[in-house]
Structure 1
Amino acid sequence: MTVPERPLSKLGFLTIGLFDEDEPAAGHENTLRMIELGESLGFDSAWLRDRHLQHGISSPVAVLAAATQRTSRIELGTAVIPLGLENPFRLAEDLATVDVLSGGRLNPGVSVGPPTHYDHIKQHLYPDSWDAEDFGRTRLSRLLHNLRGEPVSTFSGREGIETYSRRVQPHSPGLAGRVWYGAAGLASAEWAGEQGLNLLTSSVVRAEEDDDFARVQRSHILRFRERHPLGERARVSQGLVVIPTDSATPAQRRKYEEYARGRLARTTAPQGPGRLLFAPDLVGSSERIAQALAEHAGFQQVDEVVFALPFTFEYEDYEQILTDTATRLGPLLGWTPAGRGGQGA
C-alpha cells in the first residue's frame, strides 16, 4: 500500500444530526451519543452540519453546548454555519459562551453568501431589510471583530447596579484564531488565506480551472497557503464521505454501496451553472480507502481530515463506521488516537 506523504495528525468526523420530525429528541440524543463515542475512540474532533428547514440540526451551537457537558477532550466544530442567516453580534455571544463551557474546544466553521432558497424565506428572515442585506464577506469580518474582543459599543461602565462592557461578553481568548472558512472556489480559498483563517475544503468544489476533483482541491489548498501568513503551517482540513466496511454486516455493505452508487452520477462532470464538482464517496475496506486517499491529490496536501458521515443511515451504522475509522483506517493513514501518545494527544 502507498504510504501517505503527510501522516495524519488530526482525525475528525462530521454529521448532519438526522432526526424524525415527529420525534426530534431521539435524533438529537443520537448525535450527542455519537460525539461521546467519538471521544472514547480517540477522535480529535466532532463536527455538526447546519441545516435549516430540514430534518438535520438547525442549531449546532446549541447542540454543541450540550456536548460540552458530556465530553472533556474532543474538539467541537460547525461545518458550516451560513452567516446569511445569522446576526454576527448574537452569534459571537453564543460561540464564545460554548467555547467557555468547553474549555476552549470550539472550532466555528462558517460560510458566506445568500441563504439557500432566500426568495422563499426572506420575508420571514428579514421582513424589513431583505433587499438591503449584505451577504458578503463583511458579515464574517464583523463576526471576527466581535470574537477578537474589539469594541462593539461606545458605552461602558456602571449604570445603577449593572456594569456594561464595550466588547461582546463572554470574551474567549483564542476563539477567533479557531474560525474555519468553508471555501468551494479559488477566490474564496485565496481570501481565507489572506485573512489568516483556517480552511475547510469538503467534497464539493467549483470546477473553475479543471474538471478533476482532486486536482481542483489541491489547487485551492496550495493557493490558500500561498496567501496565508503561516504558509505551509496554515491549517487545512479535508472532508470527504468515507465509509469503511471492515466490520460491517453484509446488509450494511449492500446499503453503503447502494448509497454511493446513487450519488455517483453527479461526480462524473461539473453540475449546474456554478460548475459544482462532487467527490465520489469512498466505500470499502480500510486498506482500499487508505490506498485511494494516498493517491488523492487533495489528501496529499493535508494532515487533518473531517470525514463526513452519510445523511440517512441508522445510529448502528454510524457506530460501525466510526469504530472502523478510528481503529482501522486512521492508523493506516499514520494517525494515533488522541490520548494515546500520538500527535492528537
Structure 2
Amino acid sequence: MPTPDSPLARLGFLTIGLFDPADPRGGHESTLRLIEHGERLGLDSAWLRHRHLQYGISSPVAVLAAASQRTSRIELGTAVTPIGAENPFRLAEDLATVDVLTGGRLNPGFSAGPPMNIDRYRDAIYPGTFEQEEFGYERLLRFRDFVRGDVVSTFSGTEGIEVFADTVQPHAAGLAERLWYGGGSTRSAEWAGRHGFHLLTSSVVQGELGDDFAENQLHQVRAYREALGARGRVSQGLVVIPTDSASPAQIERYEAYVASRAGRVGVPHGPRRMLFAADLLGTSEQLAERLWADAAFREIDEVAFALPFSFEHDDYLQILDDLAGRLGPLLGWKPAASA
C-alpha cells in the first residue's frame, strides 16, 4: 500500500436518515442511535442529508437538536441544506439555538440555487411569490450575516417589561466560521473559497475537464484553496463500504447495491455533464489502497463517508465499526478521545 504524505485528520459519516412512513419515529431514532454510536467509536463528525417530500430527514435542525442532548463531543453537520427553501432569518435563529445546545459543535452545510425538484412544491412554499425570490448566493450570505451578529432591527432596548435586541438571538459565537458550502463545480468551489466557507465535495461533480471523476474533483479542490488563499477545510463524501466484519449475506447485498449503480460511473449526465464517483467496496486494506490511489483524496484532510441510502441499521453499525476500527487507522486516522 502506498505510504500517505500525511495522515487522515478527521473521519466522519453522512446519512440520509430514511424512515418507514408508517413508523417515522423508528427511522429517526435509528439515526440518533447511529450518531451516538459514532461518538463512542471516536468518529469526529456526523452529517445529515436534507430532504424535502421524501422519507428521509426533512428537519435536520430538529434531529441535530435531539442529537445534541445525546452526545457531548462529536461534531454535527448538514450536507447539505438547500438555502433556497429556507427563510434565512428564521434558519439563523434555529441553527444558532442548536449550536448553543451542542456547545459549539454545529457545522451547517448549504447549497445555493433553486432546490432540487422545487417546481413540484413551489406553490406550497412560495405561493404567488416564487418569481420574486432570490435563490442565489446572496441568500446564503444574508444568512451568514444574521448568524455573524449583523444588525437586523431598527430598535434595541426595553419596551415595557420586555428587552429587545437588534441582532439574531441567541448569538452563537463561532458559528459563522463553521459554515460549509457543498460545491460541485469550479465556479462554486471558487465562490466558497472567496467568501470563507469550508468546502464539502461529494460523490457528484461537474465534468468540466473530461470524464475522469477524480481529476475534476481535484481541480475543484485546488481552485477552492487558491481562491481562499490558504489550505482550508475540505471534506470529501464518497460512498465507502468496508466488509471486514460483514456477514456473507451482508456482503452479497452490498455487492448487489454497488453493481446496481455502477452503470452511472464514468458517463457524464445531463447538460452540466455531472459525474458520479464509483462506490468503494471491499476489505479495509483494499479500500485504503484505492483511496490513496485517488488524486483528490490525497489532498484532503477529512472525510465524511456517505452511508448507502437503503441499508439496514445493523449494516450501518457494521460499516461504522469497520470505518473506525480498521479503515481509519490504515489511513493514519486516530479516534477522538472520549469527552
TM-score in same-fold range (> 0.5) = yes
Residue 210 (structure 1) shift: 2.4
Structure 1: runs of 5 or more not aligned? none
Residue 272 (structure 1) shift: 1.2
Match of 2:288 among 287, 290, 294: 290
Q: Deviations over 1:103-161 (max 9, x none)?
A: 00000001111022222211111003111111000011101100100111111111111
Residue 3 (structure 1) shift: 2.2
Q: 2:204·2:277 contact (CA, 8 Å) conserved in 1?
A: yes
- Identity over the aligned pairs, expressed in percent? 62
- Write out the 4+ residue segments of structure 1 that deviate beyond 6 Å after TM superposition: none
Q: Which letter does structure 2 place at the counterpart of 1:97?
A: T
Q: 2:83·2:139 contact (CA, 8 Å) conserved in 1?
A: yes
Question: In the alignment, what sits opposite 1:326?
Answer: 324
Distance in 2 (CA, whole Å) between partners of 1:133 and 1:6 is 45
Q: Which letter does structure 2 place at the counterpart of 1:171?
A: H
Distance in 2 (CA, whole Å) between partners of 1:92 and 1:268 is 39
Q: 2:213·2:266 contact (CA, 8 Å) conserved in 1?
A: no
1:306 is paired with a residue whose SS is strand
Q: Deviations over 1:190-240 (max 9, x none)?
A: 0100001100000000001221000100001101000104x12x1001110
Distance in 1 (CA, whole Å) between partners of 2:3 and 2:52 is 40
Q: How does 1:90-239 map to 2 (within 5 A)?
A: 90-229=90-229, 231-232=230-231, 234-239=232-237
Q: 1:6·1:302 contact (CA, 8 Å) conserved in 2?
A: no
Structure 2: runs of 5 or more not aligned? none
Distance in 2 (CA, whole Å) between partners of 1:149 and 1:44 is 28
Distance in 1 (CA, whole Å) between partners of 2:114 and 2:6 is 36
Q: 1:5·1:294 contact (CA, 8 Å) conserved in 2?
A: no
Question: In the alignment, what sits opposite 1:247?
Answer: 245
1:131 is paired with a residue whose SS is helix
Q: 1:12·1:44 contact (CA, 8 Å) conserved in 2?
A: yes
Question: In the alignment, what sits opposite 2:45?
Answer: 45
Distance in 1 (CA, whole Å) between partners of 2:109 and 2:321 is 25
| 1:31 equivalent in alignment to 2:27 | no
Question: In the alignment, what sits opposite 2:334?
Answer: 336
Q: Which letter does structure 2 place at the counterpart of 1:251?
A: A
Q: 2:209·2:215 contact (CA, 8 Å) conserved in 1?
A: no
Distance in 1 (CA, whole Å) between partners of 2:172 and 2:116 is 31
After superposition, the CA RMSD in angstroms is: 0.9
Q: 1:19·1:28 contact (CA, 8 Å) conserved in 2?
A: yes
